Amino acid sequence: MDPGHTAPPSGRFAPSPSGDLHIGNLRTAVLAWLFAATTERAFLIRMEDLDRTAAGSDVRQMADLSALGLTWSPDVVYQSERLASYQAVIDALHGGGRTFECFCTRREIQEAPSAPHAPEGAYPGTCRDLTDAQRDARRAAGRPPAIRLRSDTDDFTVSDLLHGRYTGMVDDFVIQRNDGTPAYNLAVVVDDAAQGIDQVVRGADLLSSAPRQAYLATLLGHRPPVYAHVPMVLNDKRIRLSKRDGAVTLDDLAERGVTATQVLSHIAQSLWLAESGEVVDLPMLAERFRPDALPREPWILTAAEWE
């Protein structure tokens, strides 16, 4: 799908196919579907497979989503098939003088003194104004460069349905890694624009990424999406849920006799959309769904949840 304005307004769920989805992922997917369905948007699935992937996990992920009752447009996009689109945008930004090569390692960035008045954690600008000779010397030393966006602002404000107006840092962030792979912050913006995605529902841990992405979207001539960064699912130590926490995938839970219907009911209960033990389906939840009534705190998931 090529960038343009002909795609219908859509929401999406965009997992990385690096393993099976856990309950936190599934809860976010349910919320993304509900937000889209109740605002008459199409619902899309995109596989963000530019990083590490596990063979067959995309198929298993979609099977799990289907088991919960989610439906989506049949055209599932894989980022690995859109490299030419990302490169075209990177080339256009370079042609407009909006990029520079960065030869810094992560350690060098962490240890470099920050620029005056720069936000904490911002790229310090080490390579922003290197001379041609300095760049040539770094290449000769065997350092492949990443490509950074030459930003002209320190922050940007986005609109979030749960968090209101949120202003976050925008620095000279990476748009292409030093191995040539398009960076997440670029790929997600290019894909959302190409797919007509004007509503992005995802975990609250990504809220701080939204200003960079919205700024880049604006720079590329696109209207940033409306965001909804939803609460995370945490374990009993209030750490982000992971496979280490035991029975957290549909397959894990099925081995304990917990059905997909029961999982959806637990998710609905955690969202204040169902009573304890109530059997629900997605159309029923859509009738009850009110974004302003959603919980704002993380769901603390313990082993007792399934007993």
Report residue 244 CA to chain centroid gap: 22
Helix H, strand E, coil C: the string for the chain is: CCCCCCCCCEEEECCCCCCCCEHHHHHHHHHHHHHHHCCCCEEEEEECCCCCCCCCHHHHHHHHHHHCCCCCCCCCEEHHHCHHHHHHHHHHHHHCCCEEEECCCHHHHHHCCCCCCCCCCCCCCCCCCCCHHHHHHHHHCCCCCEEEECCCCCEEEEEECCCEEEEEECCCCEEECCCCCECHHHHHHHHHHHCCEEEEEEEHHHHHHHHHHHHHHHHCCCCCCEEEEECCEECCCCCECCHHHCCCEHHHHHHCCCCHHHHHHHHHHHCCCCCCCCCCCHHHHHHHCCHHHCCCCCEECCHHHHC
Query: What is the per-residue pLDDT across 137-196, written as a single tens digit (0 to 9) for each?
Result: 999 999 899 999 999 999 999 999 999 999 999 999 999 999 999 999 999 999 999 999
Residues in the chain where the model's pLDDT stays below 70: 1-6, 114-118, 243, 246-247, 307
| HSE value, Cβ hemisphere, 13 Å, CA-based, for 77 | 23
Give me 202's structure tokens: 């995802």
Q: How many whole angstroms separate alpha carbon 192 and alpha carbon 86?
A: 12
pTM: 0.92
Residue ranges of domains in the chain, CATH in brackets: 10-80+235-306 (3.40.50.620), 82-230 (3.40.50.620)
In sequence order, the 6+-apart residues with CB closer than 8 A to the CB of 253 are: 247, 262, 263, 306
Residue 261: its pLDDT value, please? 96
> Residue 198's closest CA among 3, 41, 31?
41
Nearest-10 Cα torsion for 198, 201, 203, 207: 30
> Residue 35's closest CA among 240, 281, 294?
294
Residue 241: its pLDDT value, please? 84
Residue 103: its pLDDT value, please? 96
Residue 108: its pLDDT value, please? 87
Residue 4: its pLDDT value, please? 43
Query: What is the per-residue pLDDT across 241-264, written as a single tens digit (0 to 9) for each?
Result: 876 776 689 999 999 999 999 999
